[in-house]
Structure 1
Amino acid sequence: MHLLCRDGSPLPQPEAVTFGDAGALALADLYAVPAPPSGTVHVRAMMNTTIDGAVRGADGSSGPLRNPDDSFVFDVLRALTDVVLVGAATVRAEDYGELGGREDLLSPSRRPGGASRPALAIWSISGDLPPLSADQPTYLISPRDSAAAAGRRAGLPASQVITADTPAEALEGLAALGMRAVQAEGGPTVLGRLAAEGLLDELCFSTTHRTVGGDSSRAIHADAHDQRWALSSLLLGEHATITRYRRVDDDHRTV
């Protein structure tokens, strides 16, 4: 894999990124989460897509789209975040049992919150979740009128249920628990809710070098909106092209 662009500027010569400790460290520095102001969060979206824009393979999950390039980057990014935020449908379709990230990046912790592993926050009205690891710190995000019942159905204590009627309230609830670096991994509706309210700070896409056709949703499913993004970094691998975009605010500055 080669790095072609850093901090929005093309590199004079591509820089090799090896699949090992040195390459992981280079990516950890490249993707380091900027420290958000006290009481706020930094929200990074990370999704895998195909060249033709699909986010799911034939089995309805992202599994068939995975490859060594994006798996390497995903493992690094999960070592940098305080919490992985997903919708319940994504948790039911994908494997969210172990989220630690690369072992060689865990000590000292590179997470703004300083934890040894990321928490898992699941957006759900019903609380209908698959069995999850007891060792995995897990939180449920649910609207006020359903939170208590959803928490009971999910088998989570009230201390692990975040009551939120809006995406902004959900992020405030995570920040109040000390989780300031948020990595949203889907599905498209979750990313759409965050994007529509201008709450995504970064978009990170791994575009797998495949096409699958079908009727898969695009990565962000939301009401029509118009946001500007600036390319921050670009990695080219054998199996995927991996991009990182940062949101441009109304004053034409990247956030």
Structure 2
Amino acid sequence: MHLLLRDGALLSSPVPVPADAEGARALAALYAAPELPPGAVHVRAMMTTTIDGAIAGADGTSGSLHDPDDSFLFSVLRALADVVLVGASTVRAEDYRSVRGREDLLRPSLRPGGAPRPALAIWSRSGELPDYLDPDQPTYLLTPSAGAKDAARRSGLPAAQVLAADSPQEAVEALAARGMRLIQAEGGPSALARLAEAELLDELCFTTAHRTVGGPSPRVLDGAAHETRWTLESLLLGEGATLSRYRRA
């Protein structure tokens, strides 16, 4: 994998990024969250697409679109996040048993909130969560206040880990109030669209897999129309994927 663009500027020559501990540290520095004032949060979205815009492969999951370069960066970004935010349907379809990221980046903590490991926050109205989740993983349920009591009972989570939120803004505020300042949103498309519509996304990290799959796959953002302008911050080129990072203009 090679770095072609950094801080919005093309490099005079590509910089190799090896798939080892040294490369992981380089990516951690490249993708570090900006310095945040007290109480502020940074919301990063991360998704994988194909050249023809699909976000799922033939098996219906995004996992089948990953390649070694994408997986390498994915492990780095998870280690940098205070919390991974994801919709319940995505949790049920994909593998979310652990969101720790790279072990060699967990200590000392590079997360703005300083927690020993990333947490998992799941958006769900019903509170019905898969039973394969790591019991040692800090897991939070974000659910509408009207049905929070029933959702909490179904989830099996302690009351302190059930957060009532009636809007994306309230969800982000609830996580921030618990010290989670770098929020990595990983989908699905309707969850990302809600964040985008509320103008809560600060950064987009896209992996474009060098393949096409056709079919009826939804878009990265599947929601109401809106318009937001972005600037290209960095660009990495791997053998099987292009990895781009955008910041909100």
**Which category describes the TM-score, using the shorter chain as reference length?**
over 0.9
Asked if the contact 1:148/1:158 (under 8 Å) is kept, the reply is no
Judge conservation of contact 1:231–1:245 (CA < 8 Å) in 2. Answer: yes
Deviations 1:59-117 (A, max 9, x none): 21112101101000000001100000000000000111111111111111100111121
Q: In structure 1, what is the Cα distance between the partners aligned to 2:231 and 2:223?
A: 20
| Pairing of 1:33-112 with structure 2 (within 5 A) | 33-112=33-112
Partner of residue 251, structure 1? none
Q: 1:145-175 CA distances to partner (integer Å, 9 max, x unpaired)?
A: 0111111101012100111100000000000
Counterpart position of 1:237: 238
Aligned residue for 1:69, secondary structure, equals helix
Q: Please say if residues 70 and 206 of structure 1, whose CA atoms lie closer than 8 Å, have aligned partners that are also in contact.
A: yes
Other structure's SS at 2:39 match: coil
Deviations 1:167-213 (A, max 9, x none): 00000000000000000000001100000011000000001111110
Structure-2 separation of matches of 1:114 and 1:185: 21
| Correspondence 1:1-255 to 2 at 5 A | 1-131=1-131, 132-248=133-249
Give the alignment's TM-score, normalised by structure 2.
Answer: 0.98
Structure 1 unmatched runs, 5+: 249-255
Q: Distance in 1 between matches of 2:35 and 2:159?
A: 29
Q: Hey, which bits of structure 1, 4+ residues long, moved more than 3 A?
A: none
Say if 1:141 and 1:163, in contact at 8 Å, map to a contact too.
yes
| Aligned counterparts of 1:128 and 1:166: Cα–Cα separation in 2 | 19
- The offset of 1:222, in angstroms, is 1.7
Output the CA distance in 1 between the equivalents of 2:59 and 2:156: 28
Q: How many residue pairs get matched? A: 248
- For the residue of structure 1 that corresponds to 2:80, the secondary structure is coil
- Tell me the secondary structure at the aligned position of residue 210 of structure 1: coil
Percent sequence identity is 66
- Following superposition, the deviation at residue 223 of structure 1 comes to 0.7
Q: Post-superposition shift, 1:36?
A: 2.4
Deviation at 1:40, TM superposition (A): 2.4
Alpha-carbon distance in 2 for matches of 1:211, 1:169: 37
| Structure 2 counterpart of 1:94, one-letter code | E
CA distance in 2: counterparts of 1:145 and 1:35, whole angstroms? 36
- Can you list the C-alpha shifts for 1:103-133, whole angstroms capped at 9, x where unaligned? 1111111001111210000000001111111
Report the alpha carbon displacement of residue 244 of structure 1 after superposing the two structures with TM: 0.2
Structure 1 residue 6, shift from structure 2 partner: 0.2
1:25 CA displacement = 0.6
Please tell me the residue identity of whatever aligns with 2:58. A
TM-score for the superposition, normalised by structure 1 = 0.96
CA distance in 2, matches of 1:231, 1:87: 26
CA contact (8 A) 1:195 1:222 kept: no
Cα distance in 2 for partners of 1:56, 1:3 equals 26
Tell whether the 8 Å contact from 1:122 to 1:139 is kept in structure 2 after alignment. yes
Q: CA deviation at 1:39?
A: 2.0
Say which SS state the counterpart of residue 145 (structure 1) adopts.
helix
CA distance in 2, matches of 1:19, 1:219: 27
Q: Give SS of 1:45's match.
A: strand
CA-atom RMSD, angstroms?
0.8
